[in-house]
Amino acid sequence: MTATATTTSSASSTRGWWLKTLHRWHWMSAAVSLAALLVFSATGITLNHAAQIEATPRVDTRTDTLPESVLRSLSGDYTEGAPLPASVVDWLATEMNVLAKGRSAEWADDEVYVSLPRPGGDAWVAIDRATGELEYEQTSRGVIAWLNDLHKGRNTGAAWRWFIDLFAVACLLFALTGLWLLHMHSRQRGKTWPMVGLGVALPALLIILFMH
């Protein structure tokens, strides 16, 4: 076998390895990000037309009174932002299905107030420190608002924010491996780079011409 033939065979083997590897990573990143990509694409549309999508908030208000044994834990001095005592948190979770663990509270001499924002709505609980009377209000803005907040990572907690980061990495991997595959096939597909150039130029022109 001549040196030229050996070099050609080696180059072909290397190209084959890269194609196989890139295809593997391309389909794996697509599979991992598919469901989230569909949701984020759909909510991109709903967010873009949020003013045209009307929603009627549903407000649920409940009142109750803390038992004396639990109320005693609210006496004394608390620094601003300190969470509710464990006994109050446990009572709220058990009796009212209100999850206030770890939430910072606003403390006044006569009242403690806890804001409980969540995706697609808001909530709060206010407790009279002298009598134990409490009021809980929950507002829900519907499924679309909930999905929009998931898209933005609004009031979703650390786990969902980490998921968004991992999803973004998967999308980057999907795009970069796709670009590399385009490069490797571009000799056989003459429209490859004009189409890629159009994909870059179109949003750039829109930004330059219409965003001021």
pLDDT digits (tens, 9 = 90+) for 58-93: 999 999 999 999 999 999 889 999 999 999 999 999
Query: Do the beta carbons of residue 150 and residue 144 sit within 8 Å?
Result: no
Whether the pTM exceeds 0.85: the reply is: no
Dihedral sign for Cα atoms in the order 92, 100, 140, 61: positive
**Cα-Cα-Cα-Cα dihedral of 194, 195, 196, 202, to 10°?**
100
* HSE-CB of 192 using CA atoms within 13 angstroms: 13
pLDDT in the model for residue 183: 86
Q: Is a pLDDT exceeding 80 seen at residue 8?
A: no
3-state SS class at 99: coil
Model pLDDT, residue 6: 58
Contact present, 120 and 92 (Cβ < 8 Å): no
Instruction: Quote the CA–CA distance of 103 and 82 in Å, as a whole number.
Output: 8
* Residue 138, both tokens: 């929950």
Residue 212: is its pLDDT beyond 90? no
Please report the sign of the dihedral spanned by the C-alpha atoms of residue 166, residue 123, residue 129, residue 131: negative
